[in-house]
Structure 1
Amino acid sequence: MVRLFKHYVPHAVLLLGLIDCGLLLLSANLAWSLRATQIGMDPGLLADRLAMLAGFTFVVMAAMISVGVYGSDALRSFRFAAARLLVAVSLGLIALALLDFVLPGHTFWRSTLLYAMGLSILFLMLNRVVVGGILGASAFRRRVLVLGAGVRAGRLKALSEDPGSGLSIVGYVDMNEGRPLIAEAVARSAISDLSAFVANLGASEVVLALEERRNALPLKDLLRIKTAGVHVNDFSSFMERETGRVDLDTLNPSWLIFSDGFSAGRAVSSAAKRLFDIGASSLLLALSFPVVALFALLVKLDSRGPALFRQTRVGLYGQPFTILKLRSMRIDAEAGGAKWAEKDDPRVTRVGRLIRKIRVDELPQVWTVLTGKMSFVGPRPEVPTFVDDLEDRLPFYAERHMVKPGITGWAQINYPYGASIEDARRKLEYDLYYAKNYTPFLDLLILLQTLRVVIWPEGSR
């Protein structure tokens, strides 16, 4: 994987994206040349339209990221990828057509965009067939040797067997003399030179998956492997990189303290984040006011009670604040105290079901963003009762409050809506990853991919 601004991007995704960028530039240029030829106009110099070509590519690429074109499902299923590509290119072309309407003469003609749309879909589909098929082959997967043959090694084996995985495990070494859980594991005592064994397998990375590390670290072996040019990784760091979440099952305080993350040098990033929140929330409040007013009226007409729902939530550093949402439940929904939402929750009203599905109920939270209690991106704020319970049950739960809560977040786009302790545990793993690796780049990625969750609701309740 390649680390971009503290976030890991698979090599296959990065390569596929770079080729897509080139193909979009080619499509846009061919479309311009074709349309110019049709009307008997000189296409002009390529340098004169580079800005327009780059603008076209940027908008369509943003749309592709937004709808999940580079997600694991799209990478392993051509039909899935084709559907997402059609939606992405269509959304990109609509955005460019609107831009052409607002700024006539500064962008592509709308007739040229139609040609660009057809060529883009053709080239991008071919790229999925040719390059996507090659990247999916085992030859392009990272070759990993696992030191360990217990439960952790078993988890790595299951991870490697996922069709969307970018790794191939070439062997397991049982570092103990007990009975291994991995049947094919080779006993350490049967290997005279572990460094040579790694080289013979052609492994590019070694992962330490020991169940008990105390007094058991094979330091001499690891040093030889490392100095031979092979990357050595511990289990927790490897899982964080591969899954995009912090693994609570193996997490310990020393790893959090000594691993990269929670940088004090992000003060500038935080200031930029706040400026974006102020500007975007002000604009969104102005644009969405008619929509909120309309649905607030529908909420009032549909059921008894106020249109807006106010509730205390836990924010930055554990401080309480009041959240605003369009009411989607009956007014007696929490008569017996706060409860987890359920599938097909009977407390949800008819209009509430609709506004939850299209996420309109979240729009009033933009005011909370403007006042500084929330951000657009961050962990989902929970009610104090749930927080007290989860802090008792889940380790490191309080650490998620070291960043400002958000309307959308890394957990929301990666894990479906959950209403149980186990769901809260899995979402905490994503929240800790965000808190540990926050950058404006990750915020941008989350904001773009939130569109995918809105278009294809994944477990909204």
Structure 2
Amino acid sequence: MVLREWEDLPEFMKNERVKEYYDILSQKRVSLVLKRIFDFVLGFMLLIILSPLFIILSVIIKVDSKGPIMFRQTRVTQYGKRFRIFKFRTMIDNADKIGGQITAKDDARITRVGRVLRKYRLDEIPQLFNIITGDMSFVGTRPEVPKYVEKYTDEMLATLLLPAGVTSEASIQYKDEELLLTNAISVDEVYVNKVLPEKMEYNLRSIEEFSLINDIKTMLRTVVAVVKKEEDKDVRNSVKLKSREKRQEHEW
């Protein structure tokens, strides 16, 4: 991962706010190169290790619902480059033509298998291809579709100094993002005006504090967050069950 010279950045990124973050990253060029090496080596290893799971999930998705195994969508990564992100399909075929591009928790377009994949973030596995090609990194700002990038402020554009990521501190803090958007009258409006700016605060702070060690810590926290989310759900279900049993005993 090579940081371009300031003069070589796209014109739309050259502003005073981006320059502040650029100056920080320019002092960490060696770490950025190591980050790319780390991404490539780990991505290649995981692709081999997870290949059996990759095949199994592909078969399950194909059997569960009509449509392609993979979901491909144009996103924006480093320096504003557009690329095709890969995910396991978790929604009905042509879902993007039926509803919006932001998904709420109880979105009817999500398939039965898709809900499980999204819960454990297994739908993200194909992004290993994006990591190996260099369009993405394990840790970085989640890639947005072009229409949301067009809403970026001057400061938000600084997140495009680095490749988009599979996970980030913002992803951890907003792991229940779909739930937050469930009752929104206009999902797009709430996302652009509330959720996106708040997530960007975490993303920009991550650039200021960038280091390979922090990336690894974020990856580990992501695993913990996914596991903890499911444990919390089990606890809530257990409490509800006990409460229901007590009510039944009272009725008797």
Paired residues, number: 204
CA–CA distance in structure 1, aligned partners of residues 131 and 41 of structure 2: 10
CA contact (8 A) 1:261 1:436 kept: no
The aligned amino acid for 2:203 is D
Query: Which has more radius of gyration?
Result: 1
In structure 2, the CA distance between the partners of 1:260 and 1:288, relative to structure 1 (3 Å rule), is closer
Rounded Cα–Cα distance in structure 1 between residues aligned with 2:38 and 2:155: 29
Shift of 1:376: 0.6
Mapped to 2, the partners of 1:370 and 1:282 lie a distance apart of: 7
Question: Taking structure 1 as reference, are residues 337 and 320 closer, same or farther at Cα in structure 2, changes over 3 Å only?
Answer: farther
How far apart are residue 265 of structure 1 and its match? Answer: 1.9
The corresponding residue for 1:335 is 97
Which one-letter code corresponds to 1:445 in the other structure? K
- Report the Cα offset of residue 263 of structure 1: 3.2
Match of 1:369 in 2: 131
- Structure 1 distance, partners of 2:204, 2:17, is 13
- Of the three residues 317, 329, 334, the one matched with 2:79 is 317
Corresponding position: 1:301 with 2:69: no
Over residues 286-320 of structure 1, what are the superposed CA-to-partner deviations in whole Å (9 max), with x where a residue is unaligned?
A: 01111111111111111110111111110001110
Residue segments in structure 2 that go unaligned for 5+ positions in a row? 1-14, 182-190, 233-252
1:280 is the counterpart of 2:39? no
Find the partner of 1:412 among 151, 171, 178. 171
Q: 1:379 aligns with which of 131, 136, 141?
A: 141
Which of 442, 446, 450 pairs up with 2:218? 446
> Alpha-carbon deviation of 1:255?
8.0
Task: Tell me how far 1:396 sits from its aligned partner.
Answer: 2.0
Report the counterpart of residue 31 of structure 2 in structure 1.
Answer: 269
Percentage identity across paired residues of the two chains: 35
Alignment of 1:380-399 (within 5 A): 380-388=142-150, 390-391=151-152, 394=153, 396-399=155-158
Contact 2:18 2:155 in 1 (8 A): no
Match of 1:349, as an amino acid? T
AA matched with 2:91: M
Which of 153, 158, 161 is residue 402 of structure 1 equivalent to? 161
State the 1:257 CA deviation. Answer: 5.9
Report the CA distance shift for 1:313/1:256 in structure 2 as closer, same or farther (over 3 A): closer
- Higher relative CO (Cα under 8 Å, sequence separation at least 6) belongs to 2
d(CA) in 1 for partners of 2:55 and 2:21? 47
The aligned counterpart of 2:7 is none
The offset of 1:337, in angstroms, is: 6.6
Q: 1:393-420: CA deviations, max 9, x gaps?
A: x452222111111111121123334352
Q: What's the RMSD between the two structures over aligned residues? A: 2.3
1:395–1:256 CA distance, 2 compared to 1 (3 A): closer
Residues 1:293 and 1:435: Cα distance change in structure 2 (over 3 Å): same
* 1:455 aligned residue: 227
* Shift in CA distance, 339/254, structure 1 to aligned 2, threshold 3 Å: closer
| TM-score normalised to structure 1 length | 0.42
TM-score by length of structure 2 reads 0.74
1:423 alignment counterpart: 195
What's the CA shift string for 1:140-186, capped at 9, x where partnerless?
xxxxxxxxxxxxxxxxxxxxxxxxxxxxxxxxxxxxxxxxxxxxxxx
Whether the aligned pair in 2 keeps the contact of 1:402 and 1:435 (CA below 8 Å) is no
